[in-house]
Amino acid sequence: MGNITLTDIKKNNYSLIYNLLYEQEKLSKQEIANQLHLSLPTVTQNLVALEEAGLIKKGGQFESQVGRKAVAYTICLQAGIGIGVEILKKQIRILAVDLKGRICGCTEQKLLYRNDDAYYKEIAGFVSTFIRESGFMKKQVLGIGFAVQGLTTADGQEIIFGKTLGYTGLKITALSRYLESPCMFLHDAKCAAATELWNRRDLTDAIYLSIGKHLGGAVIIGGQTVMGKQNHGGAVEHMTLIPKGRQCYCGKSGCMETYCSVNALLLEEETLEEFFTGLRDGDKEKKRRFDEYLDHLSTAVNNLHMVMDCDVILGGHMAPYLTEEDLQVLHEKVREKSAFPDEQDFIFLSESAKDSVPVGAALGFVKEFLEEI
């Protein structure tokens, strides 16, 4: 290891002070000095530098019984903004998150997918309009993440497997040529898992199932999603559940996708809202369908649990409709199939299912920005 220089120490102090303010939100100069065991001149110098960089600001004053009131410092939440775009077959959802990962603007546009330049130009136009109308300046926008139902290269520059909408081989330049900020593609299920990890800092090992119109998955080990050698780690949707079963869009048959996705549960043109409203009202046909669906899902969950022996988190568009009673039924079905007597529950609903995909698409840029301070 090389010698630590004065520049390294200054950079470290700068980062320490910012990170302390990030975690505690509002502190006085003296409180910062006390907590970090730094001199007041050092703290003052770094606060001035952080303020000049637009990263922090004075946020009022603390009450004091005697003497002058201490100035409170806080971070500028919108010093950097991440943009996330979820591309679906019939619409796109665009949102912005601040440095805490909180949504600070969103919009949805009806737009039928088509693989041509006019479509990508239209998406870029919607994104540019959203950024402008939200009042964000170019320097604030850290990057734009496009969440897709497919596998991407590690650098997010190309979709390498995208049979759901037929965009295998699509390069990010189809969109980035019309935009001013860095752009990248991201797998939608990995985005959802990233949001879960952001909101649950205690999460270490888990399997994340994103149950939307299509199924997706992510394997989380040590608080990180595992991508694997060829970047398709966690693609549980194409594990064979029923040999020679239903035809899958991937060209194979019997995949988990064809039994555990939202499309596998719903009839043509039926919505999740309609299905679960009928189910909760006692519709016998919907109850039969849901019971069959849970049978298949329990087989899939049991197989995954046998391999990983960790929590299984259910997210995606279906998660908000599921109840604790549904989870208990699922647990019982899994226990009937399991070789081991698991006493503790290990299947949980996502704590951040709503907008988890576009939020996760934006968070990567925010995380990178924070790590560089």
Question: DSSP string of 261-323?
Answer: SHHHHSPTT--HHHHHHHHHTT-HHHHHHHHHHHHHHHHHHHHHHHHH-SEEEEESTTGGG--
pLDDT number for residue 243 = 96
- 205 shares a domain with 333: yes
Residue 155 belongs to what domain range? 81-192+356-372
Query: Is the pTM here over 0.85, yes or no?
Result: yes
- 368 shares a domain with 317: no
- 26 shares a domain with 132: no
Is 1 inside a domain boundary?
no
Res. 341: pLDDT tops 80: no
In tens, the pLDDT along 69-97 reads 789 999 999 999 999 999 999 999 999 99
In tens, the pLDDT along 202-249 reads 999 999 999 999 999 999 999 999 988 887 888 999 999 999 999 999
- 337 shares a domain with 219: yes
- 111 shares a domain with 172: yes
- 250 shares a domain with 186: no
Residue 336 CB neighbours (<10 A): 10
Domain-ending residue, one of 14, 45, 75:
75
- 366 shares a domain with 334: no
The domain that holds 26 is classified in CATH as 1.10.10.10
In angstroms, rounded to a whole number, what is the distance separating the alpha carbons of residues 87 and 113? 8
User: How far is CA 282 from each of CA 34, 288, 294, 328, 352, rounded to the nearest angstrom?
Assistant: 61, 11, 17, 18, 28
pLDDT number for residue 1 = 46
Give how many domains the chain has, as a whole number: 3
- 330 shares a domain with 270: yes
In angstroms, rounded to a whole number, what is the distance separating the alpha carbons of residues 238 and 189? 13
The domain that holds 151 is classified in CATH as 3.30.420.40
Out of 41-55, 57-71, 322-336, least confident range: 57-71
